[in-house]
């Protein structure tokens, strides 16, 4: 091995020694390190990543979508998606997150049967790579578990390799009460094997069997998978459910030290393999725990800002920004080389665990009741003491924001756009769910068909029908789509909206929410102010300390402010992006 790889070899070796410190392996740490470096082809070509480099700027917008969220009978869904992006979104997004596009058995893709192939009903690897040539591609690394119908699990039951020792097992007699659960199903799945009955660990469902990373062969297989994805054009890896990766009896089996070190190892190998590759951790957990996945800028490049959706929806349906402001002021700025991944809608739902400690129980109860009034469903998790606790709210965002705690009203579209104007301006990288761009409502037919609460926000559009809606002037889908794109186009031109630009919270009362952004070169200031209530509110420009020697303009309305003594009247859910010109 070349001398230039010696520091990398030592770094990989250090990761492995920490991960497997308590486990006796069949091969040495050095041998394992050599295998991983060979799999990632680092002997042939190795990048030297720049510390604290930002792989993004203010133009970065990620669209989140399933491969078949938009379909037509005449072509493969991945081709249809590519056409939709090129024809309707190429001036609005830079990246696309295609949710699991692999063969699967349940959970709309997250019970992966084969990590190395593309679901034939969607297309093939060439279709994936074609999208990757036009947009930075984000893909899921479903790393915690695989399908019970996978080749590995079939081998587990038959006692064959690879797979016979790939899965976590435990005894029903073990003390499992303290283990953190995101679901209400029993943790252990009784499975008949050639070696007798075994009880397999299933964090999520009995069709999603947990992989055992205590076995380094599992790590080896996943590094092969990562290398394949890089070769096919993937540049952003979403580490699905990674907080649960390492299991150790006597602990909560979440956020363990070995899990964090495993992420550091994956980052080291991935970014040396591909200079601009990024890791995003999907950790739907309380805010303080979520922040730890930045590490010291040596774990995730980005973390999902899971507290934002429940706090922002709560703000807009109550007309009170108190809790959102408190959270904003407590959030540390991301170091260069790291960023928050901001979103307010996704294929799952509005997670409630990230609101724990940020919203009072009474506030969460009110939020749940309001969302149920708007047609939402509730998914539950098992909590300690044999109790079930609300885990997430399943609802489309356009329906979630159709009214307030008082009920539906006429301000739904304005409230919805206000939510996105807030998210687009916050420190971090925006991720926008395709059904938010399209103002897709609750899909009760799909919910009825699947009997899965999450299906309510996983509609599949017929491309011809969608095209008609986007061409109809009075269609809410068109109106929202065009308004969203207009906001995004403005956002992408502002240095003050760089994901790492300075941010400070403003104090403008309960009904006006605001914050200040300043570009990294300090040349642009941006005052982002929002009426988050259904009442008309006044704002004195003197209250936000605009510098008198600069000229100021609202980028959304185009209004120019000649006098800093002006008092502005904000209509319900109006947004202002006031910048120096």
Residue 107 marked as a ligand binder: yes
Nearest to 254 by CA among 172, 339, 182, 164: 182
Per the listing, tokens 């109106």 go with: 479
Peptide bond connecting 162 to the previous residue in cis, omega within 30 degrees of 0? yes
Mean pLDDT calculated for residue range 169-180: 95
Radius of gyration of the chain (CA): 24
Which phi and psi (to 5°) does residue 415 adopt? -65, -40
pLDDT at 30: 96
- Residue pair 553/561 in contact by the 8 Å Cβ criterion: yes
pLDDT at 4: 63
Dump the DSSP string for 465-479.
HHHHHHH-TT-HHHH
In which domain, by residue range, is 379 found? 62-148+211-494
Q: What is the tens place of the pLDDT at every residue in 372-431? A: 999 999 999 988 777 899 999 999 999 999 999 999 999 999 999 999 999 999 999 999
pLDDT at 581 over 80: no
CA angle 449, 453, 458 (to 5 degrees): 75
| Dist CA 430 CA 61 (whole Å) | 5
Mark whether 242 and 323 lie in a shared domain.
yes
Handedness of CA 86, 301, 99, 422 (dihedral sign): negative
Mark whether 479 and 512 lie in a shared domain.
no
Q: What is the tens place of the pLDDT at every residue in 347-366? A: 999 999 999 999 999 999 99
Mark whether 484 and 515 lie in a shared domain.
no
Nearest to 13 by CA among 29, 2, 25, 24: 29
Residue 108 marked as a ligand binder: no
Strand partners, 234: 137
**How sure is the predictor about 247, in pLDDT bands with cuts at 50, 70 and 90?**
very high
pTM (two decimals):
0.96
Structure-block tokens of residue 238: 């979403």
Nearest to 222 by CA among 5, 14, 35: 35
Mark whether 398 and 519 lie in a shared domain.
no
Residue 361 marked as a ligand binder: no
Q: Considering the domain boundaries, does residue 122 fall inside one?
A: yes
| Dist CA 202 CA 120 (whole Å) | 27
Mark whether 526 and 575 lie in a shared domain.
yes
- Residue pair 123/77 in contact by the 8 Å Cβ criterion: yes
Question: Order of strands across the sheet with 388-394?
Answer: 350-351, 388-394, 377-382
| Dist CA 161 CA 176 (whole Å) | 29
Measure the CA dihedral 458/363/432/240, to 10°: -70
Mean pLDDT calculated for residue range 227-251: 98
Q: Considering the domain boundaries, does residue 24 fall inside one?
A: no
Last residue of a domain, one of 459, 494, 529: 494
Q: What is the tens place of the pLDDT at every residue in 291-305? A: 999 999 999 999 999
Structurally, the chain folds into a number of domains equal to 2
For helices 77-84 and 125-134, the axis angle rounded to 10 degrees is 10
pLDDT at 370: 98
Structure-block tokens of residue 202: 């299933």
Q: Considering the domain boundaries, does residue 13 fall inside one?
A: no
CATH classification at residue 531: 2.60.40.1180
| Dist CA 279 CA 268 (whole Å) | 11
Q: Considering the domain boundaries, does residue 29 fall inside one?
A: no
**What residues contact residue 119 under an 8 Å CB cut-off, 6+ apart?**
67, 101, 102, 103, 104, 109
pLDDT at 1: 41
Mark whether 260 and 342 lie in a shared domain.
yes
Residue 145 marked as a ligand binder: yes
Mark whether 488 and 562 lie in a shared domain.
no
| Dist CA 440 CA 461 (whole Å) | 9
Q: DSSP letter for 451, please.
A: -
| Dist CA 77 CA 71 (whole Å) | 5
Determine the longest span between alpha carbons in the chain, in angstroms: 82
Helices (H), 170-232: 216-232
Last residue of a domain, one of 439, 474, 494: 494
pLDDT at 3: 60
Q: Considering the domain boundaries, does residue 205 fall inside one?
A: no
CATH classification at residue 263: 3.20.20.80
Last residue of a domain, one of 468, 494, 520: 494
Residue 174 marked as a ligand binder: no
Structure-block tokens of residue 66: 């399933």
Q: Considering the domain boundaries, does residue 165 fall inside one?
A: no
Q: Considering the domain boundaries, does residue 19 fall inside one?
A: no
Strand partners, 380: 390
Q: What is the tens place of the pLDDT at every residue in 458-468? A: 999 999 999 99
pLDDT at 84 over 70: yes
pLDDT at 126 over 60: yes
Count CB atoms within 10 A of the CB of residue 504: 12
Mark whether 425 and 470 lie in a shared domain.
yes
Helices (H), 185-256: 216-232
Note the Cα 521 to chain centre separation in Å. 29
Mark whether 539 and 522 lie in a shared domain.
yes
Measure the CA dihedral 478/484/488/491, to 10°: 140
Nearest to 528 by CA among 430, 432, 419, 400: 419
Q: What is the tens place of the pLDDT at every residue in 127-155? A: 999 999 999 999 999 999 999 999 999 99
Structure-block tokens of residue 541: 């420009």
240 is catalytic: yes
| Dist CA 410 CA 68 (whole Å) | 32
Q: Considering the domain boundaries, does residue 154 fall inside one?
A: no
Query: Which one is catalytic: 240, 320, 443, 534?
Result: 240
149-163, 209-223, 562-576 — which is least confidently predicted?
A: 562-576
Mark whether 290 and 374 lie in a shared domain.
yes
Nearest to 218 by CA among 170, 280, 168: 168
Mark whether 395 and 513 lie in a shared domain.
no
pLDDT at 385: 74
If you average pLDDT over every residue of the chain, what do you get? 96
| Dist CA 323 CA 314 (whole Å) | 9
Q: How far apart are the first and last CA of the chain?
A: 56
Mark whether 346 and 446 lie in a shared domain.
yes
Q: What is the tens place of the pLDDT at every residue in 92-106? A: 999 999 999 999 999
Residue 240 marked as a ligand binder: yes
């Amino acid at each position: 091995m070349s001398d230039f790889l010696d520091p990398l070899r030592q770094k990989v070796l250090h990761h492995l020694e920490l991960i497997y410190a308590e486990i006796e392996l069949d091969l040495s740490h050095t041998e394992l390190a050599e295998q991983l470096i060979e799999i990632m082809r680092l002997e042939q070509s190795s990048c030297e990543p720049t510390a604290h480099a930002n792989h993004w700027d203010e133009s970065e917008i990620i669209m989140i979508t399933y491969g078949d969220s938009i379909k037509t009978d005449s072509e493969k869904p991945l081709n249809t998606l590519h056409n939709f992006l090129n024809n309707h979104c190429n001036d609005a997004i830079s990246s696309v997150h295609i949710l699991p596009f692999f063969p699967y058995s349940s959970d709309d893709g997250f019970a992966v049967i084969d990590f190395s192939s593309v679901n034939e009903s969607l297309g093939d690897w060439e279709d994936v790579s074609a999208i990757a040539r036009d947009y930075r591609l984000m893909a899921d690394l479903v790393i915690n578990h695989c399908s019970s119908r996978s080749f590995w699990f079939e081998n587990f039951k038959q006692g064959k390799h690879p797979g016979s020792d790939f899965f976590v097992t435990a005894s029903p007699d073990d003390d499992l009460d303290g283990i953190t659960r995101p679901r209400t199903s029993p943790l252990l799945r009784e499975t008949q094997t050639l070696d007798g009955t075994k009880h397999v660990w299933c964090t999520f469902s009995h069709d999603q069997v947990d992989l055992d990373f205590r076995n380094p062969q599992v790590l080896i297989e996943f590094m092969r998978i990562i290398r394949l994805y890089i070769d096919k054009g993937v540049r952003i890896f979403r580490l699905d459910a990674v907080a649960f990766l390492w299991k150790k009896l006597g602990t909560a089996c979440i956020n363990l030290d070995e899990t964090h070190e495993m992420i550091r190892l994956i980052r080291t190998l991935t970014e040396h393999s591909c200079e601009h590759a990024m890791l995003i951790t999907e950790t739907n957990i309380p805010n303080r725990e979520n922040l730890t996945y930045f590490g010291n800028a040596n774990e995730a490049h980005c973390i999902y800002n899971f507290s934002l959706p429940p706090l922002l929806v709560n703000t807009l349906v109550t007309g009170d920004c108190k809790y959102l402001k408190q959270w904003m002021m407590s959030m540390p700025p991301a170091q260069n080389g790291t960023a928050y991944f901001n979103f307010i809608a996704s294929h799952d739902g509005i997670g409630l665990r990230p609101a724990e400690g940020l919203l009072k129980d009474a506030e969460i109860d009110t939020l749940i009741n309001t969302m149920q009034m708007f047609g939402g469903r509730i998914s539950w998790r098992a909590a300690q003491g044999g109790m079930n606790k609300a885990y997430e709210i399943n609802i489309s965002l356009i329906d979630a924001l159709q009214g307030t705690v008082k009920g539906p009203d006429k301000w739904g579209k304005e409230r919805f756009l206000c939510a996105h104007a807030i998210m687009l301006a916050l420190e971090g990288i925006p991720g926008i769910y395709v059904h938010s761009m399209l103002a897709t409502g609750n899909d009760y037919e799909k919910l009825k068909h699947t009997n899965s609460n999450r299906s309510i926000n996983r509609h599949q559009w017929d491309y011809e029908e969608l095209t008609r809606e986007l061409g109809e002037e009075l269609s809410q889908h068109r109106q929202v789509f065009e308004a969203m794109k207009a906001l995004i186009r403005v956002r992408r031109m502002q240095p003050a909206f760089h994901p790492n630009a300075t941010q400070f919270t403003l104090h403008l009362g309960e009904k006006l929410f605001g914050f200040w952004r300043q570009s990294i070169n300090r040349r642009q200031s941006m005052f982002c102010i929002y009426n988050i209530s259904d009442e008309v509110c006044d704002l004195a420009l003197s209250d936000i300390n605009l510098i008198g020697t600069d000229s100021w303009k609202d980028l959304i309305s185009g209004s120019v402010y000649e006098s800093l003594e002006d008092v502005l009247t904000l209509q319900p859910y109006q947004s202002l992006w006031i910048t120096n010109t």
